[in-house]
Amino acid sequence: MNAYPKAIVTTGNNKGKKTTIELINRLLPYDNDVEIKEEIKNVLSIYSKLSPMEIYGLIASAPPSSAFKIFPFMDVAELQIETIIKKGVDLLLSKKVKKFYVECIQRTKEVNCREVEIGIGISMRGKAEVNYNEPDYVLFANIMKSFLGFSLFKNGQEKLSVSTLKLNMRK
C-alpha cells in the first residue's frame, strides 16, 4: 500500500467507525485493497490504488452521512517548511491559478500554519494574487503526523453534503 494516504475525510465527533464502514462500502467495488484508518481523531485516511480524484468523485457523489469534508491529496510534502512552500507554489503554478489563498489546517503541531500560509503567499508574489474574498481556488494544506497533504479546490468544493445526493435523486 502507499506510504501516504490518497485522501482524508473529516467526520463528526466519534463517528469514525460509522463513516469508515460507509466509505469502505462505497470504495470496495472499485478497489478490493482499500484501507481506511483513523490516524487522527475524526480524520480518516484513505489508502487506495485509485487516484485521489477518483476517490473524491466516488465519495462526493454519494457522501457518508457523518462525513463533513474530503481532501484528495494532489501532492504531499515532508514536514520541512522549505519543501512545503516549494511544493505548494509548484502546484499553484501548474494549475495556472490567478487568484487564491492558502488555508492551512493544523491536525498535529509539527509545522506552523502561519509560516506555510505566508510562505506560499509571498513566494507567489507577482505570479498570482492572494484574494480571500473572491478566490478562484483555495489551496488546502493539511498538516498530518508525518507529512503535509495539498488539495486545490474551488471555494467550498471540499464540503460533503447528503443534500446534494437528494437533489441528484429527484432529477
Alpha-carbon span 100 to 140, nearest angstrom:
11
- Beta-strand (E) ranges in the chain? 7-11, 35-40, 43-47, 67-72, 75-77, 99-106, 129-130, 137-143, 148-153
- Beta-strand (E) ranges in 48-125? 67-72, 75-77, 99-106
| pLDDT (tens digit per residue) in 12-50 | 999 999 999 999 999 999 999 999 999 899 999 999 999
C-alpha cell at 20: 469508515
> What are the phi and psi torsion angles at 62 (to 5°)?
-150, 75
Question: For the residues 86-99, what does the mean pLDDT come to?
Answer: 96
| pLDDT at res. 168 | 44
| pLDDT (tens digit per residue) in 108-128 | 888 999 999 999 999 999 999
| pLDDT at res. 163 | 54
| pLDDT at res. 170 | 43
| pLDDT (tens digit per residue) in 126-168 | 999 999 999 999 999 999 999 999 999 987 677 776 554 444 4
Q: What is the CA radius of gyration of the chain?
A: 16
